[in-house]
Homo-oligomer: A and B are copies of this chain.
Amino acid sequence: MKCFVTGAAGFIGSNLVDRLLQDGHTVVGVDNFSTGLAEFLNAARQNKLFTLFEGNLLDRDFLNGAMHDCDIVFHLAANADVRFGADHPEKDLQQNTIATSHVLMAMQKNRIQKIIFASTGSIYGDAEIIPTPENSPFPIQTSFYGASKLAAESLIQAYCEGFGFQTWIFRFVSILGERYTHGHVFDFYKQLLAHPDQLNVLGDGKQKKSYLYVQDCINAILFSLNFSKEKINIFNLGTDEYCEVNNSIQWISDYLKITPKVVYSGGKKGWIGDNPFIFLDCKKIHDLGWNPKLSIKEGVIQTLQFLERNKWLLNEK
Known: A159-B89, A273-B161. A154 touches B141 (CB 8 A): yes
A150 to B153, CA, bound (A): 10
- Hey, which chain B residues are within 8 Å of A89, CB to CB? 101, 104-105, 155, 158-159, 162
Which B residue sits closest to A272, measured CB to CB?
B162
A302: Cβ under 8 A from any B Cβ: no
A167 to B237, CA, bound (A): 32
Which B residue sits closest to A128, measured CB to CB?
B135
A266: Cβ under 8 A from any B Cβ: no
B97 touches A151 (CB 8 A): yes
Known: A97-B151, A98-B98, A101-B90. A85 touches B158 (CB 8 A): yes
- Hey, which chain B residues are within 8 Å of A90, CB to CB? 101, 105
The one of B93, B141, B153, B154 in contact with A146, judged by C-beta atoms closer than 8 angstroms, is B154
Known: A105-B90, A158-B273. A137 touches B140 (CB 8 A): no
B158 touches A147 (CB 8 A): yes
Interface string of A157-171 (1 = CB under 8 A from B): 111011100000000
Instruction: Give how many A residues have a beta carbon under 8 Å from the other chain's beta carbons.
Output: 41
Q: In whole Å, how far is A46's beta carbon from the nearest beta carbon of chain B? A: 39
Which B residue sits closest to A153, measured CB to CB?
B141
Known: A93-B98, A93-B101, A162-B89. A147 touches B157 (CB 8 A): yes
A148 to B140, CA, bound (A): 16
A228: Cβ under 8 A from any B Cβ: no
**Max chain B Cβ within 10 angstroms of own Cβ: one of A146, A157, A163, A234:** A157
A139: Cβ under 8 A from any B Cβ: yes
B134 touches A157 (CB 8 A): no
A-B contacts, 28 listed (Cβ < 8 Å): A85-B162, A86-B163, A89-B101, A89-B104, A89-B155, A89-B159, A93-B98, A97-B151, A98-B98, A135-B138, A136-B138, A138-B139, A141-B157, A144-B155, A144-B158, A144-B162, A146-B154, A146-B158, A147-B155, A147-B157, A147-B158, A148-B154, A150-B151, A150-B154, A151-B154, A151-B155, A161-B272, A162-B273
Given contacts A93-B98, A148-B155, A150-B150, 20 further A-B contacts (CB under 8 A): A85-B158, A85-B162, A89-B159, A97-B97, A125-B157, A128-B135, A136-B138, A137-B137, A141-B154, A141-B161, A142-B157, A143-B161, A143-B162, A146-B158, A147-B155, A147-B158, A150-B151, A151-B151, A151-B154, A162-B273
